[in-house]
Structure 1
């Protein structure tokens, strides 16, 4: 079996796009692949194929990144042709080949419907993907809820409980540090095992600074007496507006202030004419999920994230 990138032959991209987008786990369609290639978010060197001795495609893996990314950010699509005897083994070999070429192990994001474990065929399709990902070093799993707001849900009026203002970079970094303490976000917890809160704050700051949203959108949230309550970072993806980052400092948690901060972000995007605002939170972060529910955000999918446990 041959594992290779789709860079050797111009016809490879047509073959990749023509590969059936079937199976229980949603796959990228030919139209979507061509759109992402045109936007430089999927590239030939980020598309890897497993071929048999006769050159037939047995599996395909497509990694995604931003238009200006040097290396891929995440695995977006992994398929093995129906009838292959060992789909997990073939997929694991394909992922290892890609990881070696990239010099990193990007996470694998699988989009699933709610209740996917109750569908035996879908659960089985996820199982071999998890097995392959684990064999390729993606052994840590996080399950997240993907939310979506549309104008039909409306926006909550400001209550005056918080005052929002722009902040300096130093003030924003301090807020990122304070919000990370005792966070229920699984990724934040894992990152704090590898670095201190100041380093993580800088990484989070740089990440959102690099997103399509504007730095001028960010706001500090204060109580009327001037004490810091939290942080609101409206952001965007290459496709739509999103919630980005938000939170309440530890000493002010438990008072419902997260609703005020989420409301500010939602109003900001709505005022800009956003027709859709997306957001994600871990399934174990029950307070954040409840806040999205109260604000009229609807769960559109479950996102299973498989990633390497350390860098």
Structure 2
């Protein structure tokens, strides 16, 4: 690697990032030029590796304007051996003040797709060589108009009365099923979406719906119809049995408001939640494998700090 050059971009040469062909064009993600225009991507947070003048590795850390957290690695592509990618990451980490969280975005069901595995293996190996450790996986799912299951009639639903009612239920829910955008909430505002969702979802209490069984609250869901995409931001249960019907109720409300697509993020290990999403008509869109700095291993919820 004697002719390897690793460096950040400088203003005016942003096109170098896109000179490397996209190895996963089927993956829906924000383009680099759009990220620059929005202020999340910056040349000084974008690094490239060149061999014989050709870009063989690229990495872009993102930090939205006004964010209180550290930048996280959002794009990392490699057309060379893992050692090249590790050299790129190590150099960037030194400039950034240390390793940062890396969200490796991949198409849905990537482990079953040899052509995707062939692309993913090198950057993941490079991340490990550079001192990052795999810790968890998040799945993004999408509903796009599939007929919703017929409700059983067992449960009733109504909008939340006020923030106090929402916060009281959130305090009783140990581990929400669905938290869409929790990484961004943490990085931009320092908010834990699981325990303090209203600080991030600054919208009317009526956007939240409560499920009741015989007059007792058994579930809570918060939607966002005016975000980048309509989404289920928060879904938490006091009784697992209501999961499917509360999901369907949330989608129904968003669809009645004009949504043609609804997004929901779930941790990959939550197999029962994922199965219920699929029964409700959601399909996996993408995976994000979370890599954290070695020093963060064992620290609670570090995977959500990026």
TM range (shorter): 0.7 to 0.9
- Unpaired runs of at least 5, structure 2: 180-189
Retained in 2: the 8 A contact 1:27–1:79?
Answer: no
Residue 40, structure 1, aligned to residue 43, structure 2: no
How far residue 157 of structure 1 moved from its aligned partner, in angstroms, is 5.8
2:15 alignment partner in structure 1: 14
* Partner SS for 1:97: helix
* Partner SS for 2:269: coil
2:101 alignment partner in structure 1: 106
Retained in 2: the 8 A contact 1:76–1:108?
Answer: yes
Which range is displaced more, 39-48 or 69-78? 69-78
**Shift in CA distance, 28/286, structure 1 to aligned 2, threshold 3 Å:** closer
**Shift in CA distance, 185/202, structure 1 to aligned 2, threshold 3 Å:** closer
Partner of residue 8 from structure 2, selected from 5, 9, 23: 5
Q: Compute the TM-score of the two structures, normalised by the length of structure 1.
A: 0.74
2:182 alignment partner in structure 1: none
Distance 1:63 1:260 in 2: 39
Distance 1:168 1:55 in 2: 59
1:304 alignment partner in structure 2: 289
* Partner SS for 1:145: strand
1:36-71 CA-partner distances (Å, limit 9, x unpaired): 22222322233212235x654331112334454355
Retained in 1: the 8 A contact 2:134–2:292?
Answer: yes
Distance 2:150 2:72 in 1: 34
Distance 2:5 2:216 in 1: 60
Retained in 1: the 8 A contact 2:70–2:100?
Answer: no
How far residue 302 of structure 1 moved from its aligned partner, in angstroms, is 3.5
Retained in 2: the 8 A contact 1:143–1:305?
Answer: yes
Residue 233, structure 1, aligned to residue 222, structure 2: yes
Spell out the pairing of 1:68-83 with structure 2 (5 A cutoff): 68-69=66-67, 74-81=72-79
Distance 1:40 1:264 in 2: 36
Residue 273, structure 1, aligned to residue 267, structure 2: no
2:185 alignment partner in structure 1: none
1:145 alignment partner in structure 2: 139
Distance 2:139 2:229 in 1: 17
**Shift in CA distance, 58/301, structure 1 to aligned 2, threshold 3 Å:** closer
How far residue 138 of structure 1 moved from its aligned partner, in angstroms, is 2.9
**Shift in CA distance, 123/237, structure 1 to aligned 2, threshold 3 Å:** farther
1:240-276 CA-partner distances (Å, limit 9, x unpaired): 1111210212xx22x2x01222122212211221121
Distance 1:74 1:238 in 2: 21
Distance 2:28 2:220 in 1: 35
- Unpaired runs of at least 5, structure 1: 187-199
Between structures 1 and 2, the one with greater helix share: 1
* Partner SS for 2:14: helix
Partner of residue 175 from structure 1, selected from 146, 163, 169: 169
> Superposition RMSD on alpha carbons, in Å?
3.5
Distance 1:305 1:236 in 2: 27
1:190 alignment partner in structure 2: none
Spell out the pairing of 1:117-196 with structure 2 (5 A cutoff): 117-154=111-148, 159=153, 161-180=155-174
Corresponding residue pairs, total: 282
Between structures 1 and 2, the one with greater strand share: 2
Q: Compute the TM-score of the two structures, normalised by the length of structure 2.
A: 0.75
Distance 1:118 1:184 in 2: 25
